[in-house]
Structures are given as structure tokens and as C-alpha cells.
Amino acid sequence: MRVEWAGCAGTANRPLLGSDSVRVEWAGSGPGLLVTIDRASATGLRAQLEDQLRAAIRAGRLAAGEPVPSSRELARSLGLFRGLVQDCYAQLQAEGYLTSRPGAATRVSHTAATPAGEVAPRPSPVVRRHALADFRHGVPDLGLVPREAWAWAVREACRSAPNAAFDYGEHTGQPRLREVLASYLARVRAAAVTPGDVIVCGGMQQALSLVVAALADAGIGPLAFEDPGSGTTVSELAAVAGLPVVPVPVDPGGLDVRALRAGGARAVLVTPAHQWPTGVVLTGPRRQALIAWARDCDGLIIEDDYDAEFRYDRDPVGSLQGLAPDRVVSLGTVSKSLAPALRLGWIVAPPRLHARLARAKWLADRGSPALDQLALAILIESGRFDRHLRRARAEYAARREILLAALARHAPRLRVTGPAAGFHAVLHLPDEAAVIAAAAVRGVGLYGMAAMHHGAATPRPQLILGFGDTPRRAVEPAIAAVADLLGGG
């Protein structure tokens, strides 16, 4: 006869990030542990239990400092006498495998968990790549994440959600969130959208992946993309789907629609409100020309509305989808407005592509996490999302002013473009690679535009200065440290 007691894996209680002060404390009788007792074996029951606990400690299944199940609970689960389990624990304490003190749980000894002569591996400490500042782009300030507001929204979702919300739910998204998003996008982005048009997905990467696959399935191609832009990601996704790609140049007016027509594409990915990475806005005439192109070739426009919430000294630019909802697939995400870790985004799909996208989403994962969706809906409905955006917008605006002032002081001869929205600016300079390499030696992380180009033309040397995750206090010293490299010192 064999009795098994299966529970949570022992390693679930290991200290986080190598910190001995952080440990999961188990309520009640302690953690679960897989132990097997074979009553038909010639080996005694106590000996079997002792051997398996020793093996679990030696193998690391029970970590140093981790509590073992109480003798009462372990005996009950295995169908043994409690005295036998107590004798087993006493023996292992005598051998140094376990330790205990009055009124506290019996735990794995720190000395027993690590074999003699070996040093327990510890995670490498987090090392800052750039001591002064890192102007990496595309990343918000993770310190601004509204943790308390999000925690409140999650608790409220758990408290108020009906039992049915804990089922798989609709794969296109929770109805409540789709209703909230449709209202929000109509109010803030002038989108022409109904809840039925919205498909909730796992962030921008999944949204774009689903759209590219749906285009290939519908025979809509080749796929064009802005150059400079996110060509590497688009090309990789298109290659998986078997869809050819075409880079199309960007000028001060945005995407060159004439070049798009000449390229023979039937779908194009654009960032019209704040072109990534140049920061230019697709002009009104270009918008009309782009929509006319889509109608003429029976094509589709994919609108990446990646940082539309952040505008400073420029009036908001409405969604392209609102002008031609039958020709535009609009993609959005909370990665910039809240945090990338939430992995929540959406697709506003025209009728001709909606069924394919919905089917692809069902095949991919049957739907994004329902409770997170409900929490986001509650956050927006409560007004806390708007309050967070106002706070974040003010902080990014302040960092932007500090960056522009520092550049005006230390590199006055260099031109700065694209800082009217989002949280990056473009600095035009004589040399790109040499400046980046020299700045890194001085502890300043700079990033160039060259990697964003995919066409045949030689790109102009430019830096993309991200200030989303660069603290205010670091901006001025960092620009001053590289002033001579920028031609200002």
C-alpha cells in the first residue's frame, strides 16, 4: 500500500533575490511536501520517512530555514502515528538536519542544506550598466506605477466579481473592460469604436503578432513599415507568418505615402500621432493620402497608438482609426501608461479582420487574465487611471524641460526634435557610434538611430534620448559629462 501527500513545492519558500530576510511564512501546519510511504516494503516506516526527508534536504527540495510540516499534520496525511513522526524529527535534529525552538516551527538547518565544501549559489547583484544615467528609450518610469491604486483595483475585482468571472470567459476580453475601453478610446482618442470591435490581448507584442498572422491568413500583403521604425520586430513577425515586408521612408511630414504606393504593399504599420522614433506627426494631408491609398488598393492601416497619453506643448492628435474605421486596425497598450509587466493591450479591429483576429486569440491562449482585465476596467471607471496619467504627464514634462535645458546649455549647436510628446527626444549630431562608445566609458548610456533604419539610404547620425526612466537629478550631470563629445565643451 502506498500513501502520498502532495503539496506545494518546497522551493516555493526560498528567499527572494537572495535576501535571507525575505521568506514566505506558512500559516497553520506548514508547507506541503511530497512524501511516499510503501507499507509493503521491508524498510520500516520511520526509516522510509527519515530517508526521504534527508534526501529532500540534500537535494534542495527543502531549503535552508524552511519550515517542515507539523508532526500532527504529517502524521495525519500519511496515516502514521504522530509519535513516529516526532521520533523521526528528533533523529534528524540530532543529526543536524533540522532545528527547532519552543513555540516555533521545526525548520531545515542552515548547515545541513548546503553540502560541506560547497558554497550555495546566490543571484548576481544588480549592476548598473551606466553609473551616471541611462537614456534608454521606450521605457516608462517604473517608480511611477500606481501600486496602491492597482492593488485596490485588484482587491475590488476579486471582491465584486461574480463566480462566473473565474471561468475562462470570453476570449476576446471581459465584456466590462471592452465597454470601458470603447468609451475611453472614443472620449480620449476620438476613435469610432464599439465594445464588439475590441479584442483584449497580452500587450503590444501579441497584438501585432495576431494582426500580422491575420493579414497573412487573409492574403493581405506585403506589409510595409516606417523607416526608421520598428522594422526588426515587424520583419521577424512577418517572416513567421510568411508575409513579405517593405520599408517606407519617413520625412518631416511622416510616412511618405508616395513611396508606399510605389512599394506595392497592401498593409502598413504606422505611428501617426508620434512617429517612432523620429517623433514627427503624420500631417493632415498625409493622413488623407494614407486613407486614400488603403481604399485604392483594398488595403489596411495598422495604427500603433503607443504613447498617445503623453502630450506637452502640442494639441492632442486624434486616432487615425476615427477617420476610417473600416480601413484601420488600431493597437493600444498600458505598457507606457501603467507598466509593461501588466501585459495588457487591445486591438480595435475592422469587421473584415475581426473574426480572424478573434480566432487567432482563442488559439493563442483562450483569453488574457480575467481578473487583471477587471482590475483595469475598475481603475479606469474609478478615475484613478486618469489621475495617474496626470501625475505621470507632469513628471515626464518636468524631465523633458530639464533635458532640453541641459542640451541648450551644453550642446547649443545641436538640433533637438520630437520632444513634444512621449518620453524621448532626438538629438542630431555629426557622429553617432563614436559618441555612444565614448559616453559609455563615462557612465552615460546613449542610443543611436542607425539601428532603426532598414532601407538602403545612409542614416543621419542621431541619438534617441529617452527620459522616461531617467531620474531628474541624473539628467543635467549626465549631459554635462558628455558635453565635449556633443561638441559643446
Instruction: Give domain limits for the chain.
Output: 2-113, 133-140+387-481, 146-385
Which CATH number is correct for 133-140+387-481, 2.40.128.20, 3.40.50.300, 3.30.1330.10, 3.90.1150.10?
3.90.1150.10
pLDDT of residue 128: 52
Domain 146-385, what architecture?
3-Layer(aba) Sandwich (3.40)
pLDDT of amino acid 29: 46
Model confidence, pTM: 0.76
| 2-113 shares its CATH topology with 146-385 | no
Residue 32 CA to residue 28 CA, distance in Å, equals 11
Give every residue of the chain whose pLDDT is below 70, as ranges. 1-33, 113-129, 313-315, 456, 488-489
Type and span of the H or E element at 248: strand 245-251
pLDDT recorded at residue 466 = 92
Alpha helical stretches, state H, 297-369: 351-365
Strand duo 198-201 + 223-227: pairing? unpaired
Nearest to 356 by CA among 169, 212, 238: 212
Which residues touch 163 (CB under 8 Å, ≥6 apart)?
none
* DSSP for residue 3: E
Hey, is 440 helix, strand or coil? helix
**Spatial distance between the Cα atoms of 376 and 336, rounded to a whole number of angstroms:** 14
Give domain 2-113's CATH architecture: Orthogonal Bundle (1.10)
